[in-house]
């Protein structure tokens, strides 16, 4: 049954991958808005052997129930042209804003009266209901049942294209731009699709996402299948060994699995309708943050020797305060990235000042982690526990240090590739860390070094005094190994004889 279930799950995922559609925008542009930015979309490089099925397309319908005495403008530009156009939108005098926004586009954008050699960047909107937009002069170039179509062909490299609407109109007599200042309210309804690959061919189902997000669904599904094996194994382990460390690790792993599942649901839905579930994606991202912070807490507790060399945790307020601060800063970084970073900027979350703050914070916690781990190992004399701490420290250091290195590498990677790089390495590092930790904490192995049942308070005090004795602290690891290790259980089993002299 399990094999059939796994096969069915994989089959359904493959079917979902095969019914990809494209990015879908639906909404309204109101007269209260002078400018509306719609989306940044990455168009892939056109393949030389099959240009018709690998081009980028933007197509759709833009209509209005209101009557506009002159049409306003729908604009699709590359970044090199979009920056000047975009930054002038904030000018208070909107007539002057329109002139400056389109000053460099007057000769670069095609217009039948003013610029015959320009490129196809602009459309007059709204389009007549049930008809093609007036700038579309060949209906065979327009996707069926739609009013306009942009086609992008670039054999050199992929590129971002920026889509927007602005309440400016072109005076074809003077070739100047003016603000459409309407005293009566108007609304323009748009229904737009963006796709890599021809929508009229079967290849349309292959690259529906923006170029910078292509292959992310396959990546999510791959890691989801890995967790689908790891999570049940760990749940079985926590049933066998009911220990605080095992429970905390299981909670962190389950949170990460939930986060990944929510992202898979959002991405699958986006693949099917071009929209997805944004709220589910946000919940998934927050669960992912909580998972990583709880995993960091586990690493700090183990580095201090909790449940391995001691039952009582020292400096509890400091440990939990640092953990709480890191979690809050991480969530604030996520919110900052959603609300404060302009979408047209080619930066990721680790190229903002909150991003650098979280990198520095993580690096400081890593240094503290190493210090606590070294201190714990100096006071430990059990060979099996030292072996565990050594392997635990090596794998945890990899998990701590990968993000600062990745952030530095991402500075030199194009925004067209950066998201996939960050996503792939981040999930790979997390999955690797969870697999190693599950291996180290497996019940048959961890029972050799976990303090599953602590000694009585009297015995514990005697044990602490013994551990801190000069002949124990100063001895090297080699001499201790040769003399024989002394652990908690062995010490408890020895009969307590009375001193020779009262």
What are 443-499's pLDDT values in tens digits?
887 777 776 544 433 343 443 443 444 444 444 333 333 334 434 334 344 444 444
Whether 293 and 184 share a structural domain: no
Whether 397 and 302 share a structural domain: yes
Q: Could you give the 3-state DSSP secondary structure of residue 132?
A: coil
The mean-pLDDT minimum among 268-277, 359-368, 434-443 falls in 268-277
The more confident residue out of 195 and 275 is 195
- Give a yes or no: residue 488 inside a domain: no
Strand partners, 75: 122, 164
Whether 238 and 369 share a structural domain: yes
- Give a yes or no: residue 498 inside a domain: no
Whether 99 and 189 share a structural domain: yes
Q: What is the pLDDT of residue 293?
A: 93
- Give a yes or no: residue 384 inside a domain: yes
CB 303 within 8 A of CB 390: no
Q: How far is CA 117 from CA 84, 104, 114, 153, 490, in A?
A: 21, 14, 9, 17, 90
CATH of the domain at 374: 1.20.1070.10
Q: Using CB atoms within 10 A of its CB, is residue 459 exposed (0-12), middle (13-18) or buried (19+)?
A: middle
Of 447, 464, 496, which residue sits at a domain end? 447
Whether 124 and 245 share a structural domain: no
Neighbours of 192 (CB within 10 A): 23
- Give a yes or no: residue 12 inside a domain: no
CB 25 within 8 A of CB 211: no
Q: What is the pLDDT of residue 31?
A: 80
| Whether pLDDT at 366 is above 50 | yes
| Whether pLDDT at 191 is above 50 | yes
Backbone angles phi, psi at 64, to 5 degrees: -155, 145
Whether 367 and 438 share a structural domain: yes
- Please compute Rg for the chain using Cα positions: 31
Residue 5: band (very low, low, confident or very high) from pLDDT cuts 50, 70, 90: very low
Between CA 60 and CA 142 the distance in angstroms is: 9
By C-alpha distance, which of 118, 204, 215, 109 is closest to 166?
109
Average pLDDT taken over every residue of the chain = 82
Whether 277 and 380 share a structural domain: yes
| Whether pLDDT at 379 is above 80 | yes
Between CA 320 and CA 322 the distance in angstroms is: 5
Q: What is the pLDDT of residue 469?
A: 44
Average of per-residue pLDDT across 280-302 = 93
Determine the structural domain holding residue 103 and report its residue range: 20-196
Of 196, 231, 259, which residue sits at a domain end? 196
Task: Sheet containing 72-78: give its strands across.
Answer: 35-43, 159-166, 72-78, 122-125
Whether 222 and 85 share a structural domain: no
Buried/exposed code over 110-122 (b: 16+ C-beta within 10 A; e: otherwise): ebeebbeeeeebb
Q: What is the pLDDT of residue 429?
A: 94
Average of per-residue pLDDT across 78-105 = 92
| Whether pLDDT at 50 is above 90 | no
Whether 185 and 268 share a structural domain: no
Q: How far is CA 448 from CA 124, 209, 309, 442, 451, in A?
A: 75, 50, 12, 10, 9
By C-alpha distance, which of 53, 107, 87, 82 is closest to 161?
82
Whether 33 and 130 share a structural domain: yes
CB 381 within 8 A of CB 485: yes
Whether 275 and 401 share a structural domain: yes
Q: What are the tens digits of pLDDT across the range 16-46?
A: 443 344 688 999 998 888 999 999 999 999 8
Q: What are the tens digits of pLDDT across the range 141-166?
A: 899 889 999 999 888 899 999 999 99
- Give a yes or no: residue 177 inside a domain: yes
- Give a yes or no: residue 332 inside a domain: yes
Q: What is the pLDDT of residue 207?
A: 58
- Give a yes or no: residue 490 inside a domain: no
Two tokens at 412? 């030199």
Contact residues for 284 (Cβ-Cβ < 8 A; gap 6+): 258, 259, 260, 261, 262, 263, 266
Between CA 44 and CA 208 the distance in angstroms is: 10
- Give a yes or no: residue 51 inside a domain: yes
Backbone angles phi, psi at 203, to 5 degrees: -70, -10
Average of per-residue pLDDT across 379-403 = 89
Q: Count the domains in the chain.
A: 2
Two tokens at 420? 């996939």
Q: What is the pLDDT of residue 462?
A: 40
Q: What is the pLDDT of residue 22?
A: 64
Q: Using CB atoms within 10 A of its CB, is residue 256 exposed (0-12), middle (13-18) or buried (19+)?
A: buried
Between CA 202 and CA 197 the distance in angstroms is: 9
Whether 228 and 83 share a structural domain: no
Of 399, 429, 447, which residue sits at a domain end? 447
């Amino acid at each position: 049954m399990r094999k059939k279930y796994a096969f069915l799950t994989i089959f359904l995922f493959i079917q979902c991958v095969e019914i990809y559609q494209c990015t879908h925008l639906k909404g309204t542009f109101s007269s209260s808005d002078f400018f509306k930015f719609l989306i940044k979309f990455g168009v892939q490089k056109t393949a030389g052997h099959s240009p018709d099925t690998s081009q980028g397309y933007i197509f759709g319908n833009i209509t209005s129930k209101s009557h506009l005495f002159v049409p306003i403008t729908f604009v699709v530009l590359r970044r090199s042209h979009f920056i000047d156009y975009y930054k002038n939108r904030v000018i208070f005098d909107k007539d002057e804003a329109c002139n400056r926004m389109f000053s460099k586009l007057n000769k670069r954008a095609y217009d039948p009266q003013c610029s015959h050699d320009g490129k196809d960047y602009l459309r007059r909107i709204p389009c007549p209901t049930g008809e093609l937009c007036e700038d579309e002069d060949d209906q065979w170039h327009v996707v069926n049942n739609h009013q306009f179509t942009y086609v992008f062909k670039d054999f050199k490299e992929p590129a971002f294209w920026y889509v927007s609407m602005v309440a400016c109109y072109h005076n074809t007599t003077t070739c100047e731009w003016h603000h459409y200042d309407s005293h009566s309210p108007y609304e323009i309804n748009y229904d737009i699709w963006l796709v890599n690959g021809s929508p009229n061919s079967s290849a349309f189902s292959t690259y529906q996402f923006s170029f910078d997000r292509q292959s992310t669904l396959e990546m999510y599904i791959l890691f989801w299948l890995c967790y689908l094996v790891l999570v049940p194994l760990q749940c079985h382990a926590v049933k066998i060994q009911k220990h605080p460390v095992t429970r905390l690790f299981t909670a962190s792993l389950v949170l990460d699995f939930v986060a990944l599942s929510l992202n898979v649901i959002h991405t699958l839905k986006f693949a099917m309708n071009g929209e997805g579930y944004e709220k589910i994606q946000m919940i998934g991202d927050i669960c992912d943050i909580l998972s990583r912070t709880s995993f960091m807490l586990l690493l700090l507790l183990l580095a201090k020797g909790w449940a391995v060399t001691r039952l009582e945790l020292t400096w509890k307020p400091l440990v939990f305060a640092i953990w709480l601060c890191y979690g809050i800063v991480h969530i604030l970084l996520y919110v900052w990235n959603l609300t404060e970073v302009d979408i047209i900027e080619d930066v990721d979350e680790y190229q903002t000042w909150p991003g650098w703050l979280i990198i520095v914070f993580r690096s400081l916690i890593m240094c503290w982690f190493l210090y606590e781990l070294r201190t714990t190992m100096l006071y430990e004399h059990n060979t099996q526990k030292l072996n565990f701490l050594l392997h635990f420290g090596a794998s945890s250091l990899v998990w701590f240090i990968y993000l600062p290195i990745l952030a530095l590498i991402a500075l030199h990677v194009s925004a067209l590739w950066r998201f996939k790089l960050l996503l792939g390495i981040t999930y790979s590092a997390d999955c690797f860390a969870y697999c190693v930790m599950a291996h180290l904490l497996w019940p048959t192995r961890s029972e050799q070094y976990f303090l599953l049942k602590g000694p009585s308070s009297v015995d514990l005090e005697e044990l602490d005094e013994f551990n801190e004795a000069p002949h124990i602290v100063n001895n090297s690891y080699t001499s201790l190994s040769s003399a024989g290790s002394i652990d908690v259980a062995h010490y408890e089993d020895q009969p307590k004889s009375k001193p020779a002299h009262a």
